[in-house]
Amino acid sequence: MTLAADRWPAYPEPAPGPSGPGGPGGPATRTGPRSGTRTVWRLELAKLRGQGRVRAIAAACLVGPFVIVAGLNVQSATPGDTAFGQWVHTSGFAIPMVILGFGGQWLLPVGTAVVAGDIFSAEDHFGTWKTILTRSRSRRELFAGKFLAALTFATAAMMLLIITDLLAGLLAGTQPVAGLGGQLVPAGHATELVLVSWLSVIPPVLGFTALAIFASVASRNSVIGIGVPVVLTLAFQVATLIALPAWGQQVLLSTPFTAWHGFWEQPAYVGPFLYGLLTSAVWFTLCSAAAWLVFRRRTIGGAS
């Protein structure tokens, strides 16, 4: 699951001081934690840009919505079993919401896990942890930089998908769309609701990112790092079919992906979104803390 590009570019040595013990010929001067974290973050982003799977995900986010619009235009059937599915031939604003309804269940958690579940275990695969740590980068700086790179990728992919989804919908038509409460939503308000709905799923996406990172750090294996979020996504979907109590549904990380339904009701309500925000924050915090504790105490060795 990893590419050779995962090892490059190499982390640079800190620049020597101007004179004295840290001057020319003396030992290197350590950079501050923020500078070290920023260096790791920038280099990890450079490595991600060189990976074929990252480019494939970006290409899918860029052209996928337009391909869906083209496919809907050549067939008369509608995805009637999803919210807004019956309106895809009536209003272009229904299309990004149909994509969100399906993507929130499967595509978004899996897409972020492809990168986050490999960003740490790739170093175990190539046996490069010792080399990186000898370049005056502390574990804290490495963890923070890699973690931020995974979050940056997830957020950037989401923003790209939000823009292309909305543009594809506008290309399909700007007619008013019926809300989930039966009310007719004009084009201007529908545009706002599409944007808000898509933005509301960023917190659970980041929660799945932290979950994939924890699986990657704990297992030191890319297959497990990517597979654990995928398996849990399936388990969450099965759990939603069970008659769980309300609190049981709320603690599932998949539940916040449907919180946007309340925005389209009449009158609108934000309770599910607030609960989902709390759920996402708890998952994110627990997984991030667990990943750091495991990484801080682990033995750094060669390739596993």
The string of pLDDT tens digits covering residues 125-155 is 887 777 777 666 788 888 999 999 999 999 9
Confidence class for position 1, pLDDT limits 50, 70, 90: very low
154 part of a folded domain: yes
Both tokens of 274, joined, read 């607030």
pLDDT at 122: 84
The whole-number average pLDDT for the span 204-222 is: 94
pLDDT at site 11: 53
13 located within any domain: no
pLDDT of residue 279: 96
Q: Which helix (H) or strand (E) holds 109?
A: helix 107-116
Within a domain: 72: yes
Q: What angle do CA 251, 215, 144 make, to 5 degrees?
A: 95
Reported as a pLDDT band with limits 50, 70 and 90, residue 300 is low
**Range with lowest mean pLDDT among 79-88, 204-213, 228-237:** 79-88
303 pLDDT higher than 70: no
The DSSP code sequence of 61-83 is: HHHHHHHHHHHHHT-----TTST
What does the pLDDT read at residue 12?
A: 55
**Domain boundaries, position 146:** 30-297
Task: Write down the mean pLDDT value for the chain.
Answer: 84
| Mean pLDDT computed over 45-52 | 91
- Where is average pLDDT lowest: 26-35, 40-49, 228-237, 243-252? 26-35
Residue 15 within a domain:
no
Q: Mind listing the pLDDT tens digit for each residue in 230-263?
A: 999 889 988 888 877 888 888 999 999 999 999 9
CA distances from 237 to 104, 198, 232 (A): 11, 20, 8
pLDDT of residue 8: 42
Structure pTM? 0.84
pLDDT band at 103 (very low <50, low <70, confident <90, very high): confident
Q: Is 245 exposed, middle or buried (0-12, 13-18, 19+ CB in 10 A)?
A: exposed
Please report whether residue 12 resides in a domain: no
How many domains are there within the chain?
Answer: 1
The pLDDT score that the predictor gives to residue 105 is: 77
pLDDT for position 134: 62
Inside any domain, residue 8: no
Within a domain: 109: yes
161, two tokens: 């998908």
302 in any annotated domain? no
Inform me whether the pLDDT recorded for 42 exceeds 60.
yes
CA separation for the pair 204, 281 (Å, rounded): 8
Q: CA-to-CA distance for 89 and 13, rounded, in angstroms?
A: 58
Q: Please report, for residues 77, 123, 220, 297, 303, the alpha-carbon distance to residue 300 in angstroms, rounded to integers and kept in the order given.
A: 55, 10, 11, 9, 9
Beta-carbon contacts of 303 under 8 Å, excluding residues fewer than 6 positions away, are: 124, 125, 126, 127
